[in-house]
């Protein structure tokens, strides 16, 4: 069978994966992709501006096309279909025959027919090429406007902020996300987004785009108003790309899109359509999950299986500009006889509404704004028709009179409940995978694909996995390793209460065996957090991993990097010269890090003590870049220099970094301090973020970058400097006490029962009555701080370990460098063979 697939986006690629899953492995498959790269993740497209590359966003597994034999043609656009001849003509001049044709052409952005829409500096937000053009334009811009306040428009506004622009959103409707949230939810969403410094302009009809007086463009509105910006992005909805179907005479939906039946067949049974270009029962689906289901149905149909597309749930949960927003089912309450329960907290800026049936027994829909913690439970209630409790309002209301909020346990879900809508994985499939031997979330992802797309279902999938493991009589535990039948949190409390100071004592009292590479570093971290003893003392040195053992980050070639602390990114000219002299003397590669420090690469282990001595003599100390500890406190220049700054962000950053620089934790910690809401220090992407306002300091917590970025959450507002330090003390020590090993504050927060409200009660309200104790623990860390580099070079016994070989002082001959762009770098294998050790740079 010859199959031609037109379009290689997320849905098109899901179809290819589904062919393999359906057992159709011997078909000749040709894929036409009009873009210059294979399918990538459009759901997380805005992360391109946060540092993810096109390769990072790819959804194509390494070797996929080599393994399957499918042919992918890049930069090849389908130009015409001949249903009678069963051929597809391409922009490259080829004519491809087919037995079955699959249209996965997706959609195109809708650009309103406004005069001036084609001006230079106007963009759509659809492809990586669009984003690259936006980034180039942003380099010479200070402000940007998104026309469209829907899901994609708000994602685009985040992208503009990531580009460093003052962002605005212009929406024709009277509220943001008009299709997903009601009026009250829209108000909450607007307040939250405006508080982040994004301008929101609703009820605005743009009639023309002309030259601006203060910026490149001026949007003129029908009400006589206007808005100026340097960059303009249209995100006003999508239109199904059905032009090939129109040309071929295929039947279309009433509002566009290729009409399909339950098997995803068009009016020509040899042509199928899936994703945003398809219209099922007159409806076009603009989310990825329905497209994935169509892809699975189409593949199974071609494989001869019985499969039918039965529509799709359009519920969504998103974090837009860091604001949780969720919509389920009939969120507007349009069903006859529907009743609603609503809860609004304007102080915390949260809004929650559930829509129930006239009998009060079934959940029809919901809207959540500012806090979407209940989304998973509410979605399952709606999808599976589960009877509501007697007082359904307590599904969204805060706890009252000590009564527990009604909860939906995973046991209450039917086997048919879909836990992962992106990949169509049911509870029954998860349970079957457990019975087949998948007993970790990693194994479960590998065999079912649950949780591998957006990741939002992972908590529920994990619950289902553990419930089935218990049912099968399998052990479900949180043991650290085979030597300790305790979690890290339990070990921390055992060490603290028992005043245990050595690993030998810990094993003797609460463990067994000799320990391993898992429990030893965890114990070392706990000892450091509790007692702040020198990490390379006789008792603690054997517990450390490579980085902590040598107080430096080991690199790919076996050398180490050296990062002197520069609190708040502040450094004197003399300090810079001293660092430069050290780097030059020892032949090190130098680079400015994202945390506003200078990183010195290429130091051999035997060079470390000499490098540290020279840096310490110049007034520097260990930057702890190797430890699970405070790494950096990033700051802008604040009110000292910046005309927008309202407070001294550098002074505060220096104070905070010097206060917490000795703290050891379950994972690395990063701070950011911004002198105003323009947020140049990117504080809202840090574990601890502080932003100055004209009323004081706002404290954000539990954000991070990395593979799964998470926006920090607002913990407290309008704080004095004293209050700020007190709350940070409590927050950090509570995290150190309760987090799992190698758990960032972001994932710790996600797993924290009670969520942000509970964290606020502990840190701000001192609900547990441990505030003074947490502060005292932190003060002990502050009072006992000592530079680890200085301690290491001052102790002859410790210093002895910094040599490459125990029986010679010769350096490692396998460390080979070459010169590139005026600095050293590790040699590649072919370059190593060509250079002798004595040819290396000094």
Q: What's the pLDDT tens digit per position in 571-620?
A: 999 999 999 999 999 999 999 988 899 999 999 998 999 999 999 999 99
Residue 374, classed as helix, strand or coil, is: coil
Mean pLDDT for the stretch of residues 194-210: 90
The mean pLDDT value for 108-117 works out to 91
**Per mean pLDDT, which range of 42-46, 113-117, 827-831 is the poorest?**
827-831
Name the packing angle between helices 427-435 and 441-448 (round to 10°). 110
Question: Tell me, what's the pLDDT at 608?
Answer: 93
- Residue 264 structure tokens: 């995803």
Q: Given this model, what pLDDT does residue 440 score?
A: 78
Question: What is the distance of C-alpha 224 from the center of its chain?
Answer: 40
DSSP 620: -
For residue 56, name the pLDDT band (cuts at 50, 70, 90). Answer: confident
CA angle 557, 559, 562 (to 5 degrees): 135
Give the contacts of 150 (CB within 8 A, at least 6 positions apart): 171, 176, 177, 178, 179, 180, 235, 236, 237
- pLDDT confidence band for 729 (50 / 70 / 90): very high
Lowest mean pLDDT among 390-394, 536-540, 549-553, 770-774: 390-394
Average pLDDT, stretch 251-256?
Answer: 92
In order, the DSSP letters of 598-613 are EEEEEE-GGGHHHHHH
Quick count: other Cβ atoms within 10 Å of Cβ 254? 9
% of the chain exceeding 90 in pLDDT: 54
**Residue 754 DSSP one-character state:** T
pLDDT at 574: 94
Number of Cβ within 10 Å of residue 255's Cβ equals 11
What is the reported pLDDT for 259?
Answer: 96
> pLDDT tens digits for 301-326?
999 998 899 887 777 776 666 677 78
DSSP-assigned letter for residue 514: S
Residue 459: what pLDDT?
67
**How does DSSP assign 762-822, residue by residue?**
HHTS-TTS-HHHHHHHHHHHHHT---HHHHHHH-HHHHTT-SSBTTB-PPPTT--EEEETT
Mean pLDDT, residues 714-739 taken together: 96
End-to-end Cα separation, the chain, in angstroms: 64
Residue 442: predicted pLDDT? 76
pLDDT for residue 412 is more than 90: no
Instruction: Say if CB 633 and CB 751 are below 8 A apart.
Output: no
If 0-12 CB within 10 Å is exposed, 13-18 middle and 19+ buried, where does residue 839 land? Answer: exposed
- Identify the pLDDT of residue 241: 94
pLDDT for residue 421 is more than 80: no
CA distance 35 to 341: 47
pLDDT of residue 481: 80
Assign 343 a pLDDT band (cuts: 50, 70, 90). confident
Tokens of 251: 């039947």
Whether pLDDT at 511 is above 70? yes
pLDDT at position 365 over 80: yes
**What's the chain's average pLDDT?**
88
DSSP secondary-structure letter at 673?
Answer: E
Do 764 and 715 meet the contact criterion of CB atoms below 8 Å apart?
A: yes
Confidence at residue 806, expressed as pLDDT on a 0 to 100 scale: 62
* pLDDT surpasses 50 at 44: yes
Instruction: Name the band, by pLDDT with cuts 50, 70 and 90, for residue 403.
Output: very low
Residue 407: is its pLDDT beyond 60? no
What confidence category does residue 424 fall into, taking pLDDT thresholds of 50, 70 and 90?
confident
Instruction: Indicate the SS3 state at residue 99.
Output: coil
Maximum mean pLDDT: which of 176-185, 277-286, 366-375: 277-286
Which pLDDT score is estimated for 833? Answer: 55
For 458-480, write each residue's pLDDT tens digit: 767 877 888 888 888 877 767 78
Enter the pTM of the model: 0.53
**Given this model, what pLDDT does residue 400 score?**
42
**Is residue 14 within a helix (H) or strand (E), and if so which, with residue range?**
helix 10-21
- DSSP label at 740? P
Q: Of all residues in the chain, what percent carry a pLDDT higher than 70? A: 94
Is the pLDDT confidence value at 839 over 90?
no
Give the residue, 647 or 753, on which the prediction is more confident: 647
Residue 837's closest CA among 804, 807, 806, 811?
811
Task: Tell whether the torsion through CA atoms of 733, 734, 739 and 745 is positive or negative.
Answer: negative
- What pLDDT was estimated at residue 98? 96
For range 253-260, the mean pLDDT: 93
Span of 277-281, 440-444, 446-450 with lowest mean pLDDT: 440-444
Q: What is the largest CA-CA distance in the chain?
A: 87
pLDDT tens digits, 59-81:
998 899 999 999 999 999 999 99
pLDDT computed for residue 330 by the predictor: 86
Residue 840: is its pLDDT beyond 60?
Answer: no
Going from the C-alpha of 472 to that of each of 416, 442, 574, the distances in angstroms are 19, 19, 66
| Structure tokens given for 231 | 């960059």
pLDDT at 345: 80
> Which of left, alpha, beta for 11 (phi over 0: left; psi -120 to 50: alpha)?
alpha
Which stretches does DSSP call E strand in 148-221? Answer: 166-171, 199-202, 206-211, 217-221
Q: Please report the sign of the dihedral spanned by the C-alpha atoms of residue 250, residue 252, residue 257, residue 261.
A: negative
Residue positions counted in the chain: 842
What residues have CB less than 8 Å from 685, skipping those under 6 apart?
A: 50, 672, 703, 704, 705, 709, 710, 711, 712
Q: Are the C-beta atoms of residues 492 and 526 closer than 8 Å to each other?
A: yes
């Amino acid at each position: 069978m010859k199959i031609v697939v037109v379009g290689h986006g997320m849905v098109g690629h899901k179809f290819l994966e589904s062919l393999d899953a359906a057992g159709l492995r011997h078909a000749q498959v040709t894929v036409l992709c009009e873009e210059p790269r294979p399918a990538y993740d459009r759901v997380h497209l805005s992360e391109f501006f946060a540092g993810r590359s096109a390769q990072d966003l790819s959804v194509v597994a390494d070797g996929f096309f080599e393994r399957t034999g499918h042919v992918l043609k890049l930069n090849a656009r389908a130009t015409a279909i001949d249903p009678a001849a069963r051929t597809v003509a391409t922009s490259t001049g080829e004519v491809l025959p087919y037995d079955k044709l699959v249209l996965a052409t997706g959609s195109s952005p809708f650009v309103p027919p406004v005069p001036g829409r084609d001006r230079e500096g106007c963009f759509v937000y659809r492809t990586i090429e669009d984003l690259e053009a936006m980034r180039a334009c942003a380099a010479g811009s200070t402000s940007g406007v998104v026309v469209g306040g829907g899901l994609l428009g708000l994602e685009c506004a985040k992208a503009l902020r990531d580009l460093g622009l003052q962002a605005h959103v212009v929406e024709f409707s009277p509220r943001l996300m008009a299709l997903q949230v009601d009026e009250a939810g829209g108000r909450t969403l607007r307040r939250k987004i405006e508080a982040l410094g994004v301008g929101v302009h609703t009820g605005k009809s743009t009639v023309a785009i002309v030259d601006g007086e203060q910026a490149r463009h001026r949007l003129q509105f029908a009400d006589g108003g206007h808005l100026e910006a340097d960059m303009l992005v249209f995100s006003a909805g999508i239109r199904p790309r059905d032009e090939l179907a129109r040309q071929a005479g295929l039947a279309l939906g009433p509002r566009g899109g290729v009409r399909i039946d339950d098997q995803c067949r068009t009016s020509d049974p040899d042509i199928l359509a899936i994703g945003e270009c398809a219209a099922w029962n007159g409806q076009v689906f603009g989310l990825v999950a329905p497209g994935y289901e169509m892809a699975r149905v189409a593949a199974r149909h071609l494989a001869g299986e019985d499969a039918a597309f039965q529509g799709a749930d359009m519920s969504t949960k998103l974090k837009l500009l860091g604001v949780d927003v969720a919509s389920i089912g009939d969120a507007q309450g349009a069903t006859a006889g529907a009743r609603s329960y609503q809860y609004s907290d304007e102080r915390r800026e949260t809004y929650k509404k559930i829509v129930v049936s006239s009998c009060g027994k079934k959940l029809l829909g919901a809207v959540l704004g500012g806090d979407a913690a209940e989304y998973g439970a509410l979605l399952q209630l709606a999808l599976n028709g589960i009877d509501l409790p007697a007082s359904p309002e307590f599904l969204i209301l805060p706890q009252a009179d000590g009564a527990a909020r009604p909860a939906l346990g995973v046991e209450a879900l039917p086997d048919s409940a879909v836990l992962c809508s992106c990949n169509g994985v049911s509870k029954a499939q998860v349970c079957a995978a457990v019975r087949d031997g998948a007993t970790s979330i990693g194994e479960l992802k590998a065999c079912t694909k649950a949780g591998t797309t957006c990741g939002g279902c992972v908590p529920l999938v994990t619950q289902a996995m553990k419930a089935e493991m218990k049912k099968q009589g399998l052990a479900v535990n949180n043991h650290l390793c085979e030597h300790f039948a305790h979690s890290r949190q339990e070990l921390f409390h055992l060490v603290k209460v028992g005043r245990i100071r050595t690993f030998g004592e810990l094993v003797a009292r609460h463990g067994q065996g000799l320990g391993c590479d898992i429990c030893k570093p965890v114990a070392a971290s706990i000892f450091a957090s509790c007692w702040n003893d020198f990490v390379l003392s006789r008792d603690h040195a054997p517990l450390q991993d490579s980085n902590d053992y040598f107080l430096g980050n080991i690199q790919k070639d076996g050398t180490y990097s050296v990062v002197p602390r520069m609190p708040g990114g502040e450094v004197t000219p003399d300090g810079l010269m001293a660092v430069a002299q050290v780097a030059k003397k020892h032949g090190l590669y130098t680079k400015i890090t994202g945390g506003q420090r200078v990183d010195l690469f290429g130091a051999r282990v035997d060079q470390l003590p000499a490098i540290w001595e020279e840096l310490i003599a110049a007034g520097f100390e260990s930057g702890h870049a190797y430890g699970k500890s405070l790494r950096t406190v990033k700051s802008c220049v604040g009110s000292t220099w910046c005309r927008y700054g309202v407070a001294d962000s550098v002074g505060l950053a220096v104070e905070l970094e010097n206060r917490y620089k000795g703290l050891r934790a379950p994972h690395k910690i990063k701070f950011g301090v911004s002198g105003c809401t323009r947020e140049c220090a990117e504080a809202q992407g840090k574990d601890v973020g502080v932003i100055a306002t004209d009323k004081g300091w706002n404290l954000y917590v539990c954000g991070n970058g990395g593979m799964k970025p998470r926006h920090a959450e607002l913990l407290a507002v309008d704080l004095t400097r004293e209050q700020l330090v007190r709350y940070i003390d409590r927050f950090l020590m509570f995290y150190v006490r309760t987090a799992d090993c190698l758990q960032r504050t972001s994932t710790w927060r996600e797993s924290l029962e009670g969520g942000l409200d509970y964290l606020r009660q502990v840190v701000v309200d001192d609900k547990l009555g441990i505030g003074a104790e947490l502060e005292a623990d932190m003060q002990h860390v502050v009072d006992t701080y000592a530079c680890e580099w200085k301690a290491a070079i001052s102790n002859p016994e410790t210093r002895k370990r910094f040599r490459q070989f125990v029986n010679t002082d010769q350096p490692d001959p396998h460390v080979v460098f070459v010169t590139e762009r005026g600095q050293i770098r590790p040699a590649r294998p072919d370059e190593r063979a060509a250079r002798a050790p004595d040819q290396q740079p000094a």
